[in-house]
Amino acid sequence: MKISRRKFFKIAGVAGGGSILGKVKSALGVEQFTGWPDRVGVLTDLTRCVGCRSCEAACNEINKLPQPKIPFEDQSVLEKERRADADYYTYVNRYPDPKNKGQWIFRKIQCNHCDEPACASACLVKALRKTPEGPVIWNEKVCIGCRYCMTACPFYVPAYEYSNAFSPNVVKCTMCYDARTSQGKVPACVEACPMEVMTFGKRRDLIQAARKRIMDHPDRYVDHIYGENEVGGTCWLYISGVPFEKLGFPTDVGTKPYPEFTRGFLSMVPAVLVVWPALLGGFYLFTKNRERMADEEEEIIPEEKEE
């Protein structure tokens, strides 16, 4: 059976395009993921926080972190706005209360445990993982310290062990996954809080509880649950008495899960890597073969003429 050059390109084009389109379709299918159904979370009611730093002390103890230079009882630490560090997985910052002059509003910060975490999608070696239970955890044995997760995180959460010269890791809050939450226990910071600022439970129940709290006290809260839709939803939720941008929350993160921004492109990579070399190799062989045959014909034809 003879195939013309035109027909070959037609078939090759359809086959190649089809395989790429097929890949795109399956990637779009993943976008329907709305989070693990029974994932747990923590609802943080910022109207209750008094900035006592009990949560920081509890976190320090359970994660066996180094003792801080300034003790946890010392409130002077709050004078400077802090950011995530390898020495503490959670910290409290304070912001001036726009309603009452001279008063402060405290904000407890830690990993928000996104439903579709940007850090995990950016990780080259799968050191970061979203568990079906809710927490986003990291595996220090796998981490190569590339710090891609630090750039990917919309909340600037993962911290780097700059002080560790030989095997530095990226570290962050794990919602006490190994020690507590995987055994059905409450995270250490949640348990330690004297004001019960944080409520632990199933994320869907927490959202209902938060809605009810806002509905029951419309004068006390702004009508927004931070983390319900931010970056596609997070397991750590916040309710507040003042708008979230006043408390340093990033409010420009959107509601689209971060991995989605790269998913379309990244899902094409294997298709391109597999299909294109095969296709181009095929073209190359085809044209080379043709050229060879043409050359051979040319070589034969003069001989025939001579005879």
Nearer to another protein, 184 or 302 (CB): 184
- β strands within 190-285, DSSP E: 198-202, 236-239
Nearer to another protein, 135 or 158 (CB): 135
Q: Which of 96, 201, 254, 282 binds another protein (CB under 8 A)?
A: 201
Nearer to another protein, 34 or 208 (CB): 208
Q: Could you tell me which residues come within 8 angstroms of residue 46 by beta carbon, excluding any fewer than 6 positions away?
A: 105, 106, 107, 108, 197, 238, 239, 240, 241, 247
Q: Count CB atoms within 10 A of the CB of residue 15.
A: 14
Q: Which stretch binds another protein (CB under 8 A): 4-12, 13-21, 201-209, 244-252?
A: 201-209
Q: Could you tell me which residues come within 8 angstroms of residue 35 by beta carbon, excluding any fewer than 6 positions away?
A: 115, 116, 203, 233
Q: How far apart are CA 233 and CA 258, in angstroms?
A: 11
Contact between 93 and 109 under an 8 Å Cβ cutoff? The reply is: yes
Task: Please provide residue 60's backbone torsions phi and psi, each rounded to the nearest 5 degrees.
Answer: -60, -40
Q: Which of 36, 48, 229, 242 binds another protein (CB under 8 A)?
A: 48
What element of type H or E holds 129? strand 128-130
Q: How far apart are CA 175 and CA 181, in angstroms?
A: 7
Site membership for another protein, residue 196 (CB under 8 A): yes
Q: State in angstroms the smallest separation of the CB of 248 from another protein.
A: 24
Q: State in angstroms the smallest separation of the CB of 77 from another protein.
A: 15
Q: State in angstroms the smallest separation of the CB of 249 from another protein.
A: 22
Site membership for another protein, residue 129 (CB under 8 A): no
Structure tokens, 305: 């003429």
Binding characters for another protein, 216-235, by CB under 8 A (x = yes): --------------------
- The DSSP 8-state label assigned to residue 128 in this structure reads E
Site membership for another protein, residue 268 (CB under 8 A): no
Q: State in angstroms the smallest separation of the CB of 58 from another protein.
A: 12
Which residue carries 């004078």 as its tokens? 79
Q: State in angstroms the smallest separation of the CB of 47 from another protein.
A: 10
Q: How many residues bind another protein (CB under 8 A)?
A: 21
Rg value, the chain, Cα: 28
Site membership for another protein, residue 104 (CB under 8 A): no
Site membership for another protein, residue 168 (CB under 8 A): no
Task: Please provide residue 286's backbone torsions phi and psi, each rounded to the nearest 5 degrees.
Answer: -60, -50
> Minimal CA–CA distance to 148: which of 258, 264, 31, 268?
258
Q: Taking CB under 8 A as the criterion, which residues in 67-96 touch another protein? A: 73
Q: Which of 89, 200, 236, 258 binds another protein (CB under 8 A)?
A: 200
Residue type, position 166, single letter: F
Nearer to another protein, 129 or 224 (CB): 224
Q: Which of 38, 74, 205, 245 binds another protein (CB under 8 A)?
A: 205
Task: Please provide residue 5's backbone torsions phi and psi, each rounded to the nearest 5 degrees.
Answer: -55, -45
Site membership for another protein, residue 38 (CB under 8 A): no
Q: Which stretch binds another protein (CB under 8 A): 21-29, 206-214, 265-273, 291-299?
A: 206-214
Q: Which residues bind another protein (CB under 8 A)?
A: 43, 48, 50, 52, 73, 186, 190, 193-196, 199-202, 205-206, 208-209, 212-213
